[in-house]
């Protein structure tokens, strides 16, 4: 159970989304929200406040008479509920609710307290709004996508409930929930902000950390397969470079391989003084995809950590407009809704996850090319060469999927298109960046699934099951419970999907 109070950590955020922890709203938050609401209601009585008694965007020059101000908020929500494309996953939609809830709980938005209560109920009862991937330019925040959340909060639109897509009104009747009370600026406060791109970003970071761990484990296993020397992940070598990510990846490799009987020490072989060959049968050092793992995954690790820090700052920030300041008795107009921070971080994240995917694809190619590894049959084919195909078919999938991620890794951050009658003349495209990053992450799980199947086949061919480290043996056994040792050709797509699911859900 997590109490929304002053600051929500990323770990607490993830525990709510992925651990199904419940949300509790503290008295501190409720008092803060009440004060903000009451102040704005009084303060806006004889002043011009954007989105309270004015139109929106380029139409902010038009005063809205008091009798129409509540209807104005409904008009805003309904008109902007215009998303298209695929629905966001329930995890991403739930994360968007939580990010918005945390922002509104800061007391800088002037919303009615019913908003806070209902959003917490949606999270705790696992009711997620239908939010589409397409629609936001990330300038006044996620206007379109957040409108779909707001639409649910006013009792309209659709939700996902117990695995089914259903009208909001039906689900509210089943659960005994009532729509929010719209009073002053509930529409604008709900849709003006970065909470969808931020929520998707948190889900992306969660999965990126899993990918990093699996990539590291695969890299360790391949080093075991070839009986590599240990100096490339040694503390002594990696501490000569000052990058913390590289040092941590090397340390994780040492931990993962600590009880492997396959990893060798250079002093026992090439440094023994007994080798007199003119042309060495043993490799002096491995290909880059095996030897440079700390240098390749180090930047990935550091980038994931940096992205996580920015996300945590964002969902603990006031990111709507205008900002209600009860302490100073003022309302400030500005651009906290702009999504450039998240857009840039999602671009960084998709770039490093694509690089991680490229590493997996190259390691896979190493295993499948017998002329390179000089250990395994072509395509790790445990059947009859020429008659059977081994992993040949799935390599095409890994290569194709990696290529798609390379293309998708072009940045959205620099692809601003002016819109909204040029009122939004430079925008972030942050939600697009976050959604595309999700696709790159999904692609990476697919490539790693194919690599893992290949590794376990190689372990069996080399009869190394009893020699690999306990860490490698654990996931080897898990994958073997999903896919049997095969010599005859198999229909591969169910196996790839099942291993992919294992990687995501473990």
Q: Three-state DSSP class for 2?
A: strand
CB 118 within 8 A of CB 129: no
SS3 441: helix
Q: Coil, strand, or helix at residue 229?
A: strand
Written as six digits, the tokens of 266 are 């250079």
CA quadruple 405, 406, 411, 412: dihedral, nearest 10: -40
Long-range (24+ apart) CB contacts under 8 A made by 14-19 are 14/202, 14/206, 16/94, 16/98, 16/123, 17/91, 17/94, 17/95, 17/98, 17/202, 17/203, 17/206, 18/91, 18/206
Asked if residue 392 lies in contact with residue 379, where contact means CB atoms within 8 angstroms, the answer is yes
229 labelled catalytic: no
- The CA-atom distances, in angstroms, between 296 and each of 15, 244, 268 are 29, 13, 27
Close Cβ partners of 339 (under 8 Å, ≥ 6 residues apart):
138, 139, 141, 142, 194, 197, 427, 428, 429, 430, 431
Residues 432, 452: Cα–Cα separation, whole Å: 30
Q: How far is CA 91 from CA 125, 213, 243, in A?
A: 13, 21, 33
Q: Which helix (H) or strand (E) holds 330?
A: strand 330-332
The residue whose two tokens read 């820090």 is 309
State the Cα–Cα distance between residues 90 and 133, nearest whole angstrom. Answer: 12
Active-site choice (7, 50, 366, 502): 50
Catalytic amino acids? Answer: 50
């Amino acid at each position: 159970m997590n109490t929304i109070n002053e600051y929500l950590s990323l770990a607490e955020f993830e525990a709510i989304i992925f651990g199904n922890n419940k949300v509790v709203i503290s008295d501190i938050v409720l008092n803060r929200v009440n004060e903000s609401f009451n102040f704005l209601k009084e303060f806006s009585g004889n002043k011009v406040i954007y989105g309270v008694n004015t139109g929106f965007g380029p139409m902010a020059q038009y005063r809205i008479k008091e009798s129409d101000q509540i209807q104005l908020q409904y008009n805003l929500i309904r008109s902007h509920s215009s998303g298209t494309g695929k629905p966001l996953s329930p995890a991403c939609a739930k994360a968007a609710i939580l990010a918005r809830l945390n922002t509104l709980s800061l007391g800088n938005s002037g919303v009615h307290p019913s908003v806070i209560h209902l959003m917490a109920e949606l999270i705790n009862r696992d009711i997620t709004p239908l939010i589409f991937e397409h629609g936001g330019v990330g300038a006044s925040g996620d206007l379109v996508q957040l409108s779909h959340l707001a639409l649910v909060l006013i009792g309209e639109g659709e939700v996902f409930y117990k695995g089914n897509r259903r009208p909001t009104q039906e689900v509210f009747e089943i659960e005994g929930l009532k729509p929010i009370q719209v009073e002053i600026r509930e529409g604008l406060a709900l849709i003006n902000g970065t909470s969808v791109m931020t929520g998707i970003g948190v889900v992306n970071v969660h999965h990126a950390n899993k990918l990093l761990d699996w990539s590291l484990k695969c890299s360790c296993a391949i080093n075991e397969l070839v009986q590599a020397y240990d100096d490339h992940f040694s503390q002594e070598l990696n501490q000569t470079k000052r990058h913390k990510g590289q040092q941590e990846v090397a340390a994780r490799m040492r931990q993962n391989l600590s009880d492997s009987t396959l990893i060798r020490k250079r002093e026992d072989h090439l440094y023994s003084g007994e080798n007199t060959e003119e042309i060495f049968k043993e490799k002096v050092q491995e290909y880059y995809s095996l030897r440079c793992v700390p240098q390749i995954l180090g930047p990935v690790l550091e980038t994931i950590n940096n992205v996580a820090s920015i996300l945590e700052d964002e969902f603990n920030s006031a990111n709507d407009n205008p900002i209600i300041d009860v302490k100073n008795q003022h309302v400030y107009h500005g651009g906290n809704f702009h999504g450039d921070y998240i857009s840039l971080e999602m671009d960084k994240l998709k770039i490093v996850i694509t690089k991680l995917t490229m590493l997996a694809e190259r390691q896979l190619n190493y295993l499948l090319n017998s002329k390179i590894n000089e250990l395994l049959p072509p395509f790790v084919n445990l059947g009859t060469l020429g008659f059977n195909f081994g992993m040949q078919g799935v390599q095409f999938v890994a290569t194709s999927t990696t290529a798609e991620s390379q293309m998708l890794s072009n940045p959205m951050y620099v692809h601003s298109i002016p819109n909204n009658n040029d009122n939004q003349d430079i925008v972030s495209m942050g939600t697009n960046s976050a959604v595309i990053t999700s696709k790159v992450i999904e692609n990476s799980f697919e490539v790693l699934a194919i690599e893992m199947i290949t590794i376990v086949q190689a372990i069996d061919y080399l009869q190394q099951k009893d020699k690999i480290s306990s860490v490698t043996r654990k996931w080897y056994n898990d994958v073997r419970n999903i896919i049997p040792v095969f010599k005859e050709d198999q229909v591969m797509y169910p196996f790839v999907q099942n291993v992919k699911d294992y990687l995501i859900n473990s």
